[in-house]
Amino acid sequence: MSDESIGKKTVRDLDLAGQRVLLRADLNVPIENGQISDDTRIRESLPTISYLLDRGCLVVLCSHLGRPKGPDPALTLAPVAARLRELLPATGVTFAGDCVGDAAEAAVATARAPGIVLLENLRFHTEEEKNDPEFARQLASLASVYVNDAFGAAHRAHASTEGVTHHLPAVAGFLMEKEVRYLSALVANPPRPFAAVIGGAKVSTKLPAVDHLLPKLDILLLGGGMANTFLKATGIDVRASLVEDEQVAAARRILDEARKRGVDVHLPSDVVAAARFAADAPAVTVEAKDVPEGYLILDIGPATVASYAAALNRAKAVVWNGPMGVFEMEPFAGGSMGMARAIAGLDAVTVVGGGETAAVVARSGLEARFTHVSTGGGASLEMLEGRELPGVAALLDA
């Protein structure tokens, strides 16, 4: 599966020797009190950065961080520059105080190749998210080639993901290539039997993905808050649990269609429930049909984990999107952790999509046992929906 072309040119397809390269990466890392708490996204960008440095390039690196409404000192990329200096001690890393204009131009003009100029947060300018043509032109003027390695932002047509491609030859970096390859190949032509484990809070956000995957699936396992809506669709009273009443009919339709197609669908048989949405709320494990009055379902139960694991044993490919419960709270993390262990132990192609699901896998310590853990939440979900990502579509065709 991993050797198929993504249909777009990559960094391997251009002669990059000595070029100035505008590299869009996803450096949107969690920062607390000025310290980076998880540098995964920075490290995921290193293979492309190193490849460019090895070819004598000046890497003009750009990214967003958070959702600022203009310049915000709490969302500066300066800590990322500091981390890059630690990860690449032999490389000169300059931090530019802006991403366009005099500060950016001066930083690029005076930097020495091979080296890195990290531009300040793209979203300090509202023109970035508006895909403003002049802002895109200014960004593009800093380089002679554009490389997009920011899969996590590829589902947005922003100036740094789509606009700049009108001015520079545009190709994919290694992380972008890997993400698109695994997710598109899995959805287009999966090894069979093919299973999907879908969780998360809401049916409405996952409905397009389930609809797109259903004709290709052999096994469908449902968990998280969204499973409550499916349980209600089968006539079970889920008491005070989160339910999207306007989606009950859609859940019923999916269950009917799955039955017609011969898809093996599993809903939680037992659940972990509590009287309050709180980590210190006393939890009870009960059958899904016996949730006490006033209680909320906050996780799948151990019998469900065991039956789901058994159902997955025959799968040759599994895609997992969405946690099985409120995994951030310890009493309600058992379902998600149990699924992480079950999927990690399979002899199958195992792909994880979605930020929360990736966080579950990271917390389980089993990341290395999955075939691929996606760095892009919204982007991976849109690929599972069969949609073309603007940031990928804009790259040069292979």
Residues annotated as part of the active site: 41, 202, 355, 378
Report in angstroms the alpha-carbon separations of 365 from 6, 224, 358, 359, 361: 30, 21, 11, 10, 7
Structure tokens at 328: 């951030």
**222 three-class SS:** strand
- CA-nearest of 6, 357, 9, 10 to 180 is 6
For 7-28, the DSSP string reads SB-BGGGS--TT-EEEEE----
For residues 380 and 182, what is the distance between their CA atoms, to the nearest angstrom? 10
Encode 18-50: b = buried (16+ Cβ within 10 Å), e = exposed: ebbbbbbbbbbbebeeeebeebebbebbbebbb
User: What is the Cα–Cα distance from 268 to 244, expressed in whole angstroms?
Assistant: 17
Rounded to whole angstroms, the Cα distance separating 291 from 293 reads 7
3-state secondary structure of 69: coil
Strands 170-172, 145-148: pairing kind: parallel
The three-state (H, E, C) secondary structure of 128-146, written as one string: CCCCCHHHHHHHHCCCCEE
Token pair for 344: 């990690």
Give me the DSSP letters along 346-385.
SSSEEEE-SHHHHHHHHHHT-GGGSSEE-S-HHHHHHHHT
Cα 390 to chain centroid, rounded: 16
